[in-house]
Structure formats: structure tokens, C-alpha cells
């Protein structure tokens, strides 16, 4: 166990040093115990003070727009509690270590049943003597510029900023209806016939916000049949997309296939079969391209990601022998049922994923005059293809970040990546309908922070209040504000390279 702790400490020190170069002296490294280092590492990859994630303290002379702004976080961004016991199962620093249950307490039953419910956004992460703000930093940025934060359950008439929370494991259409219900409560609280809002959508939040804008709370089936309707009492003034994978991401397949590991080797490992039950994860699979797989020589492999038989044949995720053994050993058929049910569930989920993305990519009648802003990143190597190696008894799925990819010929490795934010390629970030692209125009803010860090970049923080705010000078605030001066992509790329070098 002591060897594992030393290994974890070295890994965390290395990660922290790469994120915050020059901020950790040798003495400081020795002084920091593993518990403190773990706390630093679990806070979504940033520095406690200073560094590229520091909040820009420069005052911005923009007033609130006169209508509410709602922030919709991504997957993992909301706390989850057991509604019977009140125990927090996701959203604290301790949750990256405990419970050591393979993530089964977070898993949704294949029939959708769950004892967990959302309990607000992840605002602050604490572990022992360490504390770091997460989404509270976004709230503070708005409050510092005159916004009044409100409560989701009991919004007040003067409240004009809200951190939305939802069960990020569920189908995104479930979250759309949850958001629509909150907005209706807000409308009644304000005593308005029509509610005007602005939306800030991070990562998976973009799927939720974009669907709400186009189809309201209509079911996927009604929208696909042409019966989807926008909410006739809602006007969305603006949508700000931050760190979004509008066209999905191949890295999501890796997490569904491998699970999600925290602080290896001592941290919590949410196993593949648990991630497999997260409907929202399946809805983040890549749709912006179809040439997703090659062999060891870089030749295309004709495999359909959206055919459940592919997953079963190649032993992906819950269909791997290891997952099947764990399910049998723990007798968790209440969650995962049998092989037939798993295959049927996957078939339904993949079909819904395709339908959802098809609807989001469509132009719609009466598209509203909503202003779009995209915070994007194109300086990180990002997976666009994986290798399927069937030369051995059990097929292997090799991603560009795997050790097995390091020894591949250069031309083959180059086929596996494109520029993006480490999760979503630039192509995926910009995977919008033609109507949305016209609404976006040139409103694009370039940042260097990776996918989950983009919201905390100084350029993003400045844009939050400028894009949504108002002032007599239109160039300073509002939809036509002057975009923050971006660091050149060359310098941003060099900076990323220097902070991630081993």
C-alpha cells in the first residue's frame, strides 16, 4: 500500500507541476502530503492560485441585461445524492476516492430506475485541508458585476443568475424537460407572460440548450415526426457555448469502453459497465464523422459504431469478459439484467443518439433570432480515430493516448488525431446547423484551456459578462461586443506544449 501511495504522489506531483510550472519547489513538493496533492489533482486540473485558470479581476463596465442568465453545466457538474439516506455520492472531493464500489452506486438500471437525484451544481471541492472553487467561480463573476443569484426551487422576481443542476447520467431529453420546468417556475415567479433568458452551456449542456431552443420540451419522437414545438412563452436572447462537443467525441467511447479512473492507482474507478448506463454519455458519441476506425497499418476498418452487434462482437464496455465477470460476481442483475437486455438497451440508446444529433443538426421553421457565441479551442491533439486490432484472440481497441499507440509508425499516429480541445475536435465544436452557424457568425473566442477547463479561462470569464451584459457602448457589451484579444494560436500552442511536457 505504501508503494501505491508513493506512486500516486509522484503522479500527482508530476501532473500538478505540468499544470502550474514553476509554482512547486522541491521543498514544497516534499511538504505536500499525498492527501493534499490528491485534493489538488481532483479539482479539474487547475492551480489553487495564479496560473492560467485565475479569474480576471479587471472590472468590466457591463450591466446585467434585464433578464435572467442560466448556466447549464456538463456531465459530472451536478451533485448527486441518495434520496433515501441523503448521502452525497457525487460532487465532493471524497467521491474521487470513495465509495470503492466500481461506480455501481452511480449506475442507472437499464430500465432507468435510480435512487439518486440532483442536489445543486458542484460549486466547491474540499478534501481535508484543501478547498477549491469550481462553478462558484462562475457565480462570483456574475455577482461581481451586479447580478443577483437565485435559487432553482424558489426563484425570486429580482433574481437574474442561476446555476442549473440536473441528473447528468440520464437521457438529455430528460434534462431538457427539467430545464423547461424550471424556466416555467421562473416565469411564474417573475409574473411574466413571456420569459426572456440567456443561456451559458458548458460541454454536454450544449445538447440540452440547443434542443430546448429548437424543440422546446417536445419528445424526441414528436420532434423527429415534425411535431416538435418551441415553448411559445420563452424567448432565448443568447446562447454561449463553452467547451462543447456538438458533433460528439471519440474520447467518450474510450470512457464507456474503459471506464473513468480517478487518481490511479488508489482512486475511484467507475467501471465500464457503470458508464455504459449513462444515457448522456452514449449521446456524446461522435457523429461529425464516420471514418472512425483503422487497423494497425492505418487502413480503414468498416465498423459501424452505432450497431450494437459491433459492441458485442468486439467485446466493448459491458460486453467485455471482465465486465461480465464483475456483474456475475456481484450478482447485480438488478442493474444490468442479462446479455439480451443489455443489447436491446444499447440498440435503443444508440438509435436515440443518432436521432438527437440529426435533429440538432437540422434547420427548423421559425428559428428564433438568438445570438450565439462559441468559446473554442484548436491547440490540443484530440482523438478522431481509434485502431481496431483483431490480430490477437481478443480484439483490441487502441486510442491515441494509449501506451500501445506510442510505437506505431508516425503516419499511422497522425491519422488518429486532429486539433481540438483534447476532448472534442474543432470540427465537432463547430458542428452546428446552418441556421445556428449564421446566428454565430464570427463570434468565436479562442482559448487554450482544455475541454473541461475552458470555462475558467480569462477570455471566457470576460466574455461571460460582456456578451450577456449591456452598456451605452455596444462595442463593450452585448452581442456585438468586441471579442477579447486572443492569445495567438502559436503562442497558446507553445504554452500548452510547455505545460504538458513530461
pLDDT tens, position by position, 63-78: 999 999 999 999 999 9
Q: What does DSSP say about strands 417-420 and 380-383: parallel, antiparallel, or unpaired? A: antiparallel
Bridge partners of 425, per DSSP, are: 420
Does the structure show a pLDDT above 90 at 60? Answer: no
Number of Cβ within 10 Å of residue 59's Cβ equals 9
pLDDT at 8: 43
The pLDDT confidence band at residue 56, using thresholds 50, 70 and 90, is very low
CB 200 within 8 A of CB 242: yes
pLDDT tens, position by position, 94-122: 998 888 999 999 999 999 999 999 999 99
Q: Which of 339, 353, 270, 271 is nearest to 311 (CA)?
A: 339
Half-sphere exposure in the Cβ direction for 256 (13 Å, CA): 24
Q: What is the DSSP string of 62-78?
A: -B--SS-EEEE--TT-E
Q: For residues 453-463, give the mean pLDDT.
A: 96
Q: For residues 24-51, give the mean pLDDT.
A: 39
Helices 205-215 and 339-361 pack at an angle, to 10 degrees, of: 60
3-state secondary structure of 162: strand
Q: For residues 75-99, give the mean pLDDT.
A: 94
pLDDT at 129: 83
Question: Measured between alpha carbons, how far is 249 from 253 in angstroms, rounded to an integer?
Answer: 8
Question: Measured between alpha carbons, how far is 394 from 389 in angstroms, rounded to an integer?
Answer: 9
The pLDDT confidence band at residue 262, using thresholds 50, 70 and 90, is confident
pTM above 0.85, yes or no: yes
Bridge partners of 241, per DSSP, are: 201, 374
pLDDT tens, position by position, 269-316: 999 999 999 999 999 999 999 999 999 999 999 999 999 999 999 999
Query: What is the phi/psi pair of residue 353, to 5°?
Result: -60, -45
pLDDT at 123: 97
Q: Which of 386, 453, 349, 471 is nearest to 61 (CA)?
A: 471
Q: For residues 200-211, give the mean pLDDT.
A: 98
pLDDT at 494: 39
Cβ neighbors of 410 (< 8 A, separation 6 or more) are none
Q: What does DSSP say about strands 293-294 and 88-90: parallel, antiparallel, or unpaired? A: unpaired
Question: Measured between alpha carbons, how far is 5 from 14 in angstroms, rounded to an integer?
Answer: 14
Does the structure show a pLDDT above 90 at 467? Answer: yes
Q: Which of 193, 169, 160, 166 is nearest to 181 (CA)?
A: 166
Number of Cβ within 10 Å of residue 281's Cβ equals 21
Question: Measured between alpha carbons, how far is 383 from 415 in angstroms, rounded to an integer?
Answer: 9
Q: DSSP secondary-structure letter at 192? A: -
Cβ neighbors of 251 (< 8 A, separation 6 or more) are 382, 383, 399, 422, 423
Sheet of strand 234-242, all strands in order from the earlier edge strand to the far edge: 161-163, 69-72, 195-202, 234-242, 371-376, 444-446
Q: What does DSSP say about strands 116-121 and 78-82: parallel, antiparallel, or unpaired? A: antiparallel
Q: Which of 463, 456, 455 is nearest to 484 (CA)?
A: 463
The pLDDT confidence band at residue 486, using thresholds 50, 70 and 90, is low
pLDDT tens, position by position, 243-258: 999 999 999 999 999 9
The pLDDT confidence band at residue 59, using thresholds 50, 70 and 90, is low
HEC letters along 3-54: HHHHHHHHHHHHHHHHHCCCCCCHHHHHHCCHHHHHHHHCCCCCCCCCCCCC
CB 103 within 8 A of CB 271: yes
Range in 26-40, 51-65, 161-175 the model is least confident about: 26-40
> What is the share, in percent, of the chain residues with pLDDT greater than 70?
84
Q: What is the DSSP string of 373-429?
A: EEEE--SEEEE--EEEE-SSSS-EEE-TTSGGGTTS-HHHHHHTEEEESSSSBHHHH
Residue 308: C-alpha distances to residues 304, 347, 429 (Å): 9, 5, 26
Query: What is the phi/psi pair of residue 23, to 5°?
Result: -95, -10
**What's the sign of the alpha-carbon dihedral 232, 237, 240, 245?**
positive
pLDDT tens, position by position, 214-241: 999 999 999 999 999 999 999 999 999 9
Question: Measured between alpha carbons, how far is 125 from 116 in angstroms, rounded to an integer?
Answer: 20
3-state secondary structure of 386: strand
With residue 188 as reference, give the H or E element that holds it.
Answer: helix 172-190
pLDDT tens, position by position, 121-178: 999 998 888 888 999 999 999 999 999 999 999 999 999 999 999 999 999 999 999 9
Q: For residues 11-38, give the mean pLDDT.
A: 39
Q: For residues 425-434, give the mean pLDDT.
A: 98
pLDDT at 487: 55
Residue 16: C-alpha distances to residues 11, 39, 44, 293, 500 (Å): 9, 11, 11, 33, 10
pLDDT tens, position by position, 334-393: 999 999 999 999 999 999 999 999 999 999 999 999 999 999 999 999 999 999 999 988
Does the structure show a pLDDT above 50 at 37? Answer: no
Question: Measured between alpha carbons, how far is 216 from 230 in angstroms, rounded to an integer?
Answer: 4
Sheet of strand 88-90, all strands in order from the earlier edge strand to the far edge: 88-90, 78-82, 116-121
CB 252 within 8 A of CB 285: yes
Query: What is the phi/psi pair of residue 183, to 5°?
Result: -60, -35
Does the structure show a pLDDT above 80 at 23? Answer: no
**What's the sign of the alpha-carbon dihedral 426, 427, 431, 434?**
positive
Region of 422 please: left (phi>0), alpha (psi -120 to 50) or beta. left
Amino acid at each position: 500500500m505504501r508503494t501505491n501511495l508513493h506512486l500516486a504522489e509522484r503522479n500527482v506531483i508530476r501532473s500538478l507541476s505540468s499544470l502550474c510550472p514553476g509554482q512547486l519547489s522541491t521543498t514544497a513538493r516534499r511538504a505536500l502530503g499525498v492527501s493534499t496533492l490528491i485534493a489538488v489533482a481532483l479539482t479539474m486540473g487547475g492551480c489553487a492560485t495564479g496560473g492560467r485558470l485565475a479569474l480576471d479581476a479587471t472590472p468590466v463596465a457591463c450591466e446585467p441585461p434585464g433578464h435572467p442568465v442560466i448556466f447549464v453545466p456538463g456531465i459530472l457538474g451536478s451533485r448527486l445524492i441518495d434520496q433515501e439516506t441523503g448521502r452525497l455520492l457525487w460532487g465532493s472531493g471524497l467521491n474521487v476516492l470513495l465509495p470503492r464500489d466500481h461506480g455501481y452506486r452511480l449506475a442507472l438500471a437499464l430500465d432507468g430506475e435510480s435512487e439518486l437525484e440532483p442536489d445543486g451544481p458542484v460549486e466547491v471541492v474540499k478534501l481535508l485541508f484543501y478547498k477549491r472553487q469550481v462553478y462558484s467561480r462562475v457565480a462570483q463573476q456574475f455577482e461581481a458585476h451586479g447580478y443577483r443569484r437565485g435559487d432553482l426551487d424558489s426563484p425570486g422576481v429580482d433574481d437574474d443568475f442561476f446555476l442549473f443542476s440536473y441528473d447528468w447520467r440520464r437521457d438529455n431529453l430528460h434534462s431538457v424537460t427539467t430545464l423547461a420546468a424550471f424556466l416555467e417556475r421562473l416565469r411564474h415567479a417573475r409574473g411574466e407572460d413571456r420569459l426572456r433568458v440567456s443561456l451559458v452551456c458548458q460541454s454536454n449542456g450544449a445538447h440540452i440548450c440547443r434542443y430546448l431552443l429548437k424543440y422546446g420540451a417536445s419528445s424526441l419522437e414528436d420532434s423527429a415526426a415534425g411535431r416538435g414545438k418551441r415553448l411559445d412563452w420563452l424567448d432565448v436572447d443568447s446562447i454561449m457555448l463553452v467547451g462543447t462537443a456538438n458533433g460528439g467525441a471519440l474520447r467518450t467511447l474510450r470512457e464507456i469502453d474503459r471506464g473513468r479512473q480517478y487518481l490511479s492507482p488508489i482512486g475511484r474507478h467507475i467501471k465500464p459497465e457503470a458508464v455504459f448506463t449513462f444515457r448522456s454519455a452514449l449521446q456524446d458519441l461522435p457523429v461529425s464523422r464516420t471514418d472512425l476506425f483503422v487497423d494497425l497499418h492505418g487502413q480503414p476498418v468498416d465498423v459501424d459504431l452505432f450497431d450494437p452487434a459491433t459492441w458485442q462482437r468486439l467485446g466493448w464496455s459491458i460486453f467485455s469478459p471482465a465486465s461480465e465477470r464483475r456483474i456475475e460476481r456481484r450478482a447485480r442483475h438488478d442493474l444490468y439484467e442479462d446479455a439480451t437486455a443489455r443489447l436491446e438497451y444499447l440498440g435503443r440508446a444508440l438509435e436515440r443518439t443518432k436521432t438527437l444529433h440529426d435533429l440538432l443538426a437540422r434547420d427548423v421553421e421559425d428559428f428564433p433570432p438568438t445570438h450565439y457565441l462559441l468559446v473554442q479551442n484548436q491547440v490540443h491533439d484530440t482523438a478522431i480515430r481509434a485502431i481496431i486490432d483483431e490480430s490477437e484472440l481478443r480484439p483490441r481497441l487502441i486510442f491515441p493516448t494509449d501506451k500501445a499507440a506510442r510505437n506505431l509508425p508516425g503516419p499511422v499516429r497522425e491519422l488518429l488525431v486532429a486539433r481540438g480541445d483534447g476532448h472534442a475536435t474543432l470540427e465537432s465544436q463547430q458542428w452546428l446547423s446552418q441556421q445556428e452557424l449564421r446566428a454565430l457568425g464570427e463570434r468565436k473566442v479562442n482559448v487554450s484551456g482544455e475541454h473541461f477547463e475552458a470555462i475558467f479561462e480569462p477570455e471566457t470569464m470576460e466574455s461571460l459578462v460582456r456578451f450577456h451584459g449591456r452598456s451605452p457602448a455596444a462595442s463593450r457589451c452585448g452581442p456585438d461586443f468586441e471579442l477579447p484579444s486572443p492569445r495567438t494560436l502559436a503562442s497558446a500552442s507553445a504554452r500548452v506544449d510547455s505545460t504538458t511536457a513530461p
